[in-house]
Amino acid sequence: MDGLKKSVGAALIVGVHHEELPFGRAAVLALGETGSIPDLKVIEIAQGLARPQSFRNRKFFYNTYHNELYLQIHRQLKKKYGLVMDLHVGHIEEGLAAEIYTRNRRLLSAIDRVNSDSSRLDLYFIAGRNEYTENTEELNICHTIIPECVWRSDSYVYAGIEIFVESRDGFSGFRKDEIDFAVEIIRLVWKGFNSIQRQTEKNRQPVIGAGKTGSKTEPG
């Protein structure tokens, strides 16, 4: 599906991975100061996933908890919000970069249109691991262990956001420009979603002189 969900509000998830929570909190605080996303619902995961020291030995338990956590989030958010953003943070050698991954092609196109700097942002289309993806030659394809009911939800559009900051020990002591960049990307996703919303509402209006209405998804 590439349509817009009936619910139009937005939710932002922070802290799915426990060590990312300080970054998420800082981004939420800075985002609130801008007042750029009205009525944004912040979902803070107080008991997020901790990356296991020995991932090979703990992979099953990690993946099980990861799956259950997202299922709980899905049950909490479905039919309440039109857009669900999921904020994460990672490391790169230098500079700042971001990735946005979603199942909604219209959102990807809208973000691409409103984005003024594509050099630091990559957009990805989420596909099932065994899925044949038709007409996706122009898209970057990615896969995820997030449950399919989340990224292919019928009640909201899921958009994962990964912010990459300069390498350091741990996930603390973030610079202001890193937090500001995260806010910029979050706002970009919202602007893309909002532009789809406006276009959808416009298409539902009667066409002057025509006597009829016109109206014209994915992790939605």
pLDDT at res. 136: 65
Whether 186 contacts 210, CB under 8 Å: no
Q: What is the model's pLDDT at position 173? A: 79
Strand order in the sheet with 157-166: 41-44, 10-14, 83-92, 157-166, 97-102, 121-126, 140-142
Ranges of the chain whose pLDDT falls below 70? 1-8, 52-57, 133-137, 169-172, 204-220
Class of domain 10-204: alpha beta
pLDDT at 115 (0 to 100): 92
pLDDT at 11: 96
- pTM value? 0.85
- pLDDT value for 160: 98
pLDDT score at 209: 44
Please report the pLDDT score of residue 116 as a whole number.
Answer: 85
